[in-house]
Structure 1
């Protein structure tokens, strides 16, 4: 079934001037019900994560494709839709760039999250729309450079369809959530998406270089740091994705080689990338700083990151037994309620409470521990008792029975 056979294609308007924007705001104010919202970034092409296109659709209003760089002030739009339910797919991906321009919802309906809670195996928008609405939604432009101007007509068509089907999808999902008794679960999850705070910037973001764990010598780490900082500065100045300038693998090649001269750096064949030669002075200056600095990074940082579970049997056998038993118990709960295990309870929460089990071990202490970690009420209700029983069972024996508080 085609889109046209399912729904009437609404009027679409491209907004690239302030006057057009105010006309769109007036039209959206006259619409009814939720507003479907989406944003397109230029990830992989640009340094920034700003929105280069914002799409909105509301019944009775039509579809509006807004060019954010052309609009200086989004407050009029926020005043019209701020208190209306927003329908988004994978809201956590789009909310940061929407909030950057002053668009911030009070409530959302996240169709990707709803699909997970409904137990739909594949939760991409195209797949979910096809399964629930019977519409084939092509996704050929999902990885496009949305900073391109002018945007091709086919891209705008693709962007419009991303929001024009969202409200129908939301209504279909709401019925299914009610049938499965998951409306309250969904409401708590959607509220958590809106309330989630942005992560604080990393103190040492250069340590996220892919493969940096292979560098053992401190001076090599200093080179990796200085090269990363030099690349980040250039990426910010040119608004280019860092990996498009020089890939992580090339930075690590140079950091590991620690060339003694600019010529030696230029001779490294694996030091590649579009800016590896045009900005050679920049990279050599970074190497020189690494060779002469007294600010040598330490090999291992103090962190609250837990060891990988594969090492728990040696480092903390009791925690390993608790984790394995609890995983098995929650897998059964996951299957019973048809909710993916990672949505039933954040895996890190389970690892942390297994590593440092509450003492005394009671339903109250397990519930409190999960709540402190950030678990929602519905998650605690479904998982606290199975976790408690799983933690107790590995230590039970006929000679040493343990009573479970209820």
Structure 2
């Protein structure tokens, strides 16, 4: 891809929409467009429950910042996102798609993710800042990326920052899609984007908190009980103070507390795990959480769930090995991330099922239509020849 220089880096005029009435008017207008670009800002670093704080929408004619914290009813914009006749361009859409559905019930149809395109084109750096610099010679200043977007009023410099993110996505997508067509991969990305548009935020309210704690699987049941008790206390404090749990006290502090298991405030202070401020504010609750975890009856101690590895036929490891050789060589030829061609989970499913026809390959769980069309014959050839003892070079078969 050739670098394209762009002279005008100035922020175009933008409009702030902060009322239901103005949102309804805007939705009616933007619903006539064929392509729109979308970005959003959230506050996951500053509050207990993260939320969408700003939605940026740009077209060739308009550039708006929608304020969902002031608009009580966001339903007016939902039909625009659900309209399959409008292409919605995002960059790194996964989090945005989940958040829009979680907060507003918004579903996105006809998605095009420019970050995903970059991955399919073999770009080493796929962040928006790096991509715009390389392809459009545009420099984005990301210094406000981790600021508190829930504050109101937002400073002018943060509004101007937000107004820049979406406006370049339409020309960027046009350039990238042209390259995709040249490499005959546009249909691949479209199918992946269709799947991406259906992702949803996880709801794990009934699951133990320790399941999301790194290293929990190595703890004994008794230590798991202490960990769960500490995590519940931290979550309760975080919710009360409306702050992210990690800003109450860190995971590393929790790990240290589990190792020491202080039963008194004096012991907790002596171990110097918490800062003086944290100790004064939360020390008593931490000690109580440790005691509660240690008092858990033996028959109620938590057990970290372990998935038993499936019993595989003897040929499966060999099929996996040869599929990987083929996959990695194909990735080199196409200049693509190997995981896009066939990730480990999919290779495992294929190796276990051992489909020897295109029809059987289509029945493999999670395989995409584009993968079958582009690589189906190669995959079947690998599987059919696995019983041979020759050396497999991944491109020409066995030699």
Q: For residues 358 and 26 of structure 1, what CA distance do their matches in structure 2 show?
A: 50
Q: Which runs of 5+ in 2 are unaligned?
A: 391-396
Instruction: Give yes or no for contact 1:250–1:272 (8 Å, CA) kept in 2.
Output: no
Aligned length: 383
Aligned CA distance change for structure 1 residues 232 and 273 (closer, same or farther; 3 Å): farther
Shift of residue 138, structure 1, vs aligned partner: 2.4
Q: For residues 203 and 89 of structure 1, what CA distance do their matches in structure 2 show?
A: 31
Q: For residues 27 and 276 of structure 2, what CA distance do their matches in structure 1 show?
A: 44
- 1:203 aligned to 2:195? no
Shift of residue 221, structure 1, vs aligned partner: 1.3
Report Cα offsets for 1:162-199 as digits up to 9, x if no partner. 10111111111221111111121121111111133544
Alignment TM-score, normalising by the size of structure 1: 0.84
Shift of residue 123, structure 1, vs aligned partner: 0.8
Report Cα offsets for 1:341-399 as digits up to 9, x if no partner. 11112332224444xx225x5235861463x1x1211123334444444455554238x
Report Cα offsets for 1:308-367 as digits up to 9, x if no partner. xxxxxxx9985443333221110122223333111112332224444xx225x5235861
Alignment correspondent of 2:41: 40
Alignment TM-score, normalising by the size of structure 2: 0.85
Q: For residues 64 and 146 of structure 1, what CA distance do their matches in structure 2 show?
A: 16
Greater RCO, 1 or 2 (C-alpha within 8 Å, sep 6+): 2
Alignment correspondent of 1:268: 271
Shift of residue 132, structure 1, vs aligned partner: 2.4
Report Cα offsets for 1:200-238 as digits up to 9, x if no partner. 5272332221233443x3211110111111112222333
- 1:218 aligned to 2:221? yes
Report Cα offsets for 1:40-62 as digits up to 9, x if no partner. 112332222311111111222x2
Written as runs of structure 1 = structure 2, the 5 A alignment for 1:2-401 is 5-6=7-8, 9-29=11-31, 32-60=33-61, 62-83=62-83, 84-99=86-101, 100-201=103-204, 203-215=207-219, 217-272=220-275, 275-294=278-297, 295-298=300-303, 300-303=304-307, 319-354=316-351, 357-358=352-353, 362-364=356-358, 367-368=361-362, 370=364, 372=365, 374-391=366-383, 393=385, 395-397=387-389
Alignment correspondent of 2:394: none
Aligned CA distance change for structure 1 residues 21 and 358 (closer, same or farther; 3 Å): closer
Which range is displaced more, 7-16 or 341-350?
7-16
Aligned CA distance change for structure 1 residues 54 and 262 (closer, same or farther; 3 Å): same
Shift of residue 70, structure 1, vs aligned partner: 0.8
Aligned CA distance change for structure 1 residues 57 and 287 (closer, same or farther; 3 Å): same
Alignment correspondent of 1:401: none
Q: C-alpha root-mean-square deviation of aligned residues, in Å?
A: 3.0
SS of the equivalent of 1:44 reads coil
Which range is displaced more, 323-332 or 375-384?
375-384
